[in-house]
Amino acid sequence: MALLITGGGGFVMSNLARLWAETHPNGQVIVLDTGPLDPPLERFFAPVAAQIHYVRASVLDRAALDRIAAEHDITHIVHGATVTLFAPEAPGGGSVRNPETDVPAAVIEINVMGTVTVLDWARSLPNLSRIIAVSSGAVYNDYGPVPAGPMPEDGWVDPPEFYGISKRASEMIAQRYGQLFGMSIASCRLSGVYGPMDRIRPSRAHYCAPYTALHRALDGKTIRVSAPDAVGDHIHAGDVAQAILSLLAKDGPLDHPVYNIALGQSVTIRDLIEEVARIVPGATWEVAEAADSDIVSDDTHKGGRWGAYDISRIRAETGWHPRSFAEALSDYASFIRDFGVTR
């Protein structure tokens, strides 16, 4: 049994790689990523290093995929490779300030044609059981059900940026591949993810609110926020990994083409910081102008991609549910204390 994870060096997918290896002691994990096997990642993978095979290549590299198929009997695929809104490097090298305006063609090529390349290659795998394509709440817009309620998977899709547009296109492409070629494929839309191994990578240069709040508190620094009543649906990377495993492991066909993976509730910045203060006694915070804030948010966004996501679909089908926000955030704080800071 072997799992291929594209984009497996990133912080969310690295949590999945380690969890799969821990729960499948006789299985193998092939990580395909354009980024390096950096020292923090190498240390994070150390307990399961014998099961991890790291391949540094692009999802557009069909020859690299063919070599993987020749060396491993791939039974499952999680396609997580992507160019995000916060990618500091362009595919192939070179720094960028805004991928959407600096390298829009690269965003679309990697996110859309990368998906096509992986799915078309996957058709040749004789023992492939299931593919999960990682999508994003970026496929939604800044509005949702009125009165504000959790975002369902059906409807409300209106991505405003190339990233979300490319993710929605990839969802549709994945669904059509499944229909045409009898492949078991589903996409999962993630809300805002935080947790272990969050660090700068070629595809990500962004510190989310939970990361910033916890790290400043643990450093003994005041947390400065611009909009304490701004909201977000924050999900721990370990819970995301468990959710994806539940979809991979489900017996029989999946019931839906798309699943939300999220905490399932809105958390204000104020709620976040108050929880951080319980975890890190003595933590302090203050409201500041956006230019002077550590966490800059927009408190006019209460729903849509910023609010809660409906997770009833995956809960009903697989039994998965996330930990409470308090428990998950405390777990992340423990990781930072034990593992060290991953800048």
In whole angstroms, what is the distance from residue 305 CA to residue 167 CA?
14
Number of structural domains in the chain: 1
**For the residues 36-43, what does the mean pLDDT come to?**
95
Can you give the pLDDT at residue 99?
87
Cis, bond preceding 281 (omega within 30 deg of 0) = no
DSSP secondary structure, 116-149, as one string: HHHHHHHTT-TT--EEEEEEEGGGB-S--STTT-
197, 40 in Cβ contact below 8 A? yes
Residue 238, CA distances (Å) to 122, 156, 337 in order: 26, 27, 17
In whole angstroms, what is the distance from residue 135 CA to residue 325 CA?
22
114, 174 in Cβ contact below 8 A? no
In whole angstroms, what is the distance from residue 205 CA to residue 197 CA?
13
Structure token digits, residue 168? 């929605």
Give 304's DSSP letter: G
In whole angstroms, what is the distance from residue 247 CA to residue 263 CA?
17
115 falls within a domain: yes
Global pTM? 0.95
**For the residues 95-114, what does the mean pLDDT come to?**
91
Mean pLDDT computed over every residue of the chain = 94
277 falls within a domain: no
Using DSSP, state whether 76 is helix, strand or coil.
strand
208, 196 in Cβ contact below 8 A? no
In whole angstroms, what is the distance from residue 99 CA to residue 137 CA?
18
39 falls within a domain: yes
Minimum mean pLDDT range among 70-84, 96-110, 245-259: 96-110
Can you give the pLDDT at residue 202?
80
Name the pLDDT band for 340 (thresholds 50, 70, 90).
confident
Query: Percent of the chain at pLDDT above 70?
Result: 99
Amino acid code (one letter) for 201: R
**For the residues 209-214, what does the mean pLDDT come to?**
96
24 falls within a domain: yes
Can you give the pLDDT at residue 145?
85
pLDDT tens per residue across span 311-338? 999 999 999 999 999 999 999 999 999 9
Domain residue limits at 12: 2-198+234-264+305-323
CA dihedral for 336, 231, 236, 97, sign (positive or negative): negative
299 falls within a domain: no
Can you give the pLDDT at residue 97?
86
In whole angstroms, what is the distance from residue 147 CA to residue 131 CA?
35
Name the pLDDT band for 96 (thresholds 50, 70, 90).
confident
CA 133 to chain centre: 11
In whole angstroms, what is the distance from residue 164 CA to residue 135 CA?
9
Q: pLDDT at residue 8 above 70?
A: yes
CATH number at residue 313: 3.40.50.720
pLDDT tens per residue across span 236-291? 999 999 999 999 999 999 999 999 999 999 999 999 999 999 999 999 999 999 99
pLDDT tens per residue across span 145-202? 876 679 999 999 999 999 999 999 999 999 999 999 999 999 999 999 999 999 888 8
279 falls within a domain: no
56 falls within a domain: yes
Helix (H) or strand (E) holding 153: none
190 falls within a domain: yes
Instruction: Show the DSSP H helices in 46-189 as ranges.
Output: 62-71, 99-102, 104-108, 114-122, 162-181
Can you give the pLDDT at residue 343?
67
Can you give the pLDDT at residue 148?
67
